[in-house]
Structure 1
Amino acid sequence: MIKFIRNNSLSVVFLLLFLLAIAGQFFTGMSEHNKDRTEDGEVPLSAGEYLHSGHFIQATFENWESEFLQMALFVILTIFLYQKGSSESKTFEGDEEVDREPDPNREGAPWPVRKGGWILALYKHSLSIALLVLFILSFTLHLYGSLKDENEHLAGKGLPPESMSKYITESRFWFESFQNWQSEFLSVFAIVVLSVFLRQKGSPQSKPVDAPDDETGE
């Protein structure tokens, strides 16, 4: 167990942080939502009811959507776009290890590499494909949750519900998306540019402390 935790400590810590954060979001979100419902003369929701509410679904997946979009674009754009001096960029001179064709005879090569053909073709792009699929799923669930939340508000006012086709053209859903997308793009811009001039000893996201500012990569 100790060896497992050491070998996977980064993912374990971030998973625990995620669970703590989403628990905090759930309980504070339920409290805030029930406060609004009480003020509107509606019955507060139980924890089970809130879990399936549009308010919780929308708030959760609008954030996941922006995260997976940011990561997918970063993985794809760093294939052919560069930033001189940044640890997040490939070097300008020649090909790097990540650019070479996979060797099926390499010891420990993953099964898709040894299999070859269309399986290998998919595997070559599996990271970006997975992130784009997660973005699409999160985008869809965000849309579903946002529409559900809107219709729950309309029902409380005795108004008819909106259709999906109409709601997706309105400003609320896209405002929710853009306010998250812009923050993700800004954070990527910040790490790409700041890693040119600033350092963090011991972090693979930083160049060596004594590396020149114009040295790209590690």
Structure 2
Amino acid sequence: MAEETRRPTDSFFRRNGLSLVAAALMIGSLVGQLLTGHAVYNEERGELGLAALSFAQYLVSGHALSSTFENWESEFLQMGMFVLLTVVLRQKGSSESRPMRAEDENPRIDPGPTPWPVRKGGLWKSLYGHSLAIAFMALFALSFALHAFGSWERDGVERMARHEASLALGDYVLSSQFWFESFQNWQSEFLAVLSLVLLSIWLRQKDSPQSKPLEAPHSQTGE
């Protein structure tokens, strides 16, 4: 049996357009960040009396690692926590919440092969049942570690230029500078989640799966 029924007009882009456009926007923004970050960092190095870096050198510098993974860290934390919080918590009227009553939950499952971890059962099924949150939190942990390493390396370069002693990695991770970088991103991500949860109670976006139907009352919870 085919994995899914496809109409002859279903092109590759039609089937994958959302992820392709999102990936293109992400890659384009990342390239823009790296190009402008390269220029900014070389200006900073010039002010410190240090030699400019080539673009290839910049890609593995603490400045590039820190600025990239500082943001990725907060995004993965946002999505991981949102996935976990929506398991047990509700918000009446929000399209981002599960229904208030368990009997209202009746998800439609499209016909097709059952994922193999479900067929396997046991530990595999249990892990698969939490795999989305596990993946997000693992990506958050990796991004957090790379953010810490990149920021520590950048701080070390700046201290060296000022003829100051460098901090050990552990000491830097406990510093206010590192946590300032983290918290300023975390709070914005949680604000975005809060905004989506609350605004979806009263506002609509026609044809968006993140919105309730136009005719739905404000009190309706879930899509």
Which range, TM-score by smaller chain?
A: over 0.9
Matching of residues 56-205 of structure 1 within 5 Å: 56-95=64-103, 96-97=105-106, 107-205=112-210
- Report the TM-score when normalising by structure 1: 0.93
Which of 47, 50, 73 is the matching residue for 1:42? 50
Is 154-163 or 189-198 further displaced after alignment? Answer: 154-163
Kindly report the root-mean-square deviation, in angstroms, between the aligned alpha carbons of the 2 structures: 1.6
How far is the alpha carbon of 1:107 from its aligned partner?
A: 4.3
Number of aligned residues? 212
Structure-1 separation of matches of 2:188 and 2:112: 42
Deviations 1:2-47 (A, max 9, x none): 7222111100000000110000000111111111111222211110
Structure 2: give runs of 5+ residues left out of the alignment. 1-9
Deviations 1:26-79 (A, max 9, x none): 011111111111122221111011101111100000100000000000000001
Find the residue that maps to 1:15 and give its secondary structure: helix
Structure-2 separation of matches of 1:132 and 1:204: 25
How far is the alpha carbon of 1:169 from its aligned partner?
A: 1.2
2:13 paired with 1:5:
yes
Structure-1 separation of matches of 2:222 and 2:74: 26
Structure 1: give runs of 5+ residues left out of the alignment. none
How far is the alpha carbon of 1:168 from its aligned partner?
A: 1.3
Counterpart in 1 of 2:26? 18
Residue identity matched to 2:136: L
2:216 paired with 1:211:
yes
Residue identity matched to 1:217: G
Deviations 1:131-179 (A, max 9, x none): 0000000000000001011001111122222101211111010000000
Deviations 1:173-212 (A, max 9, x none): 0000000000000000000000000000000000001111
Structure-1 separation of matches of 2:53 and 2:170: 28
Structure-2 separation of matches of 1:85 and 1:165: 45
- Report the TM-score when normalising by structure 2: 0.91
Structure-2 separation of matches of 1:24 and 1:30: 10
State, as a whole percentage, how many aligned pairs show the same letter: 50
Do the aligned residues in 1 keep the contact of 2:48 with 2:158 (CA within 8 Å)? no
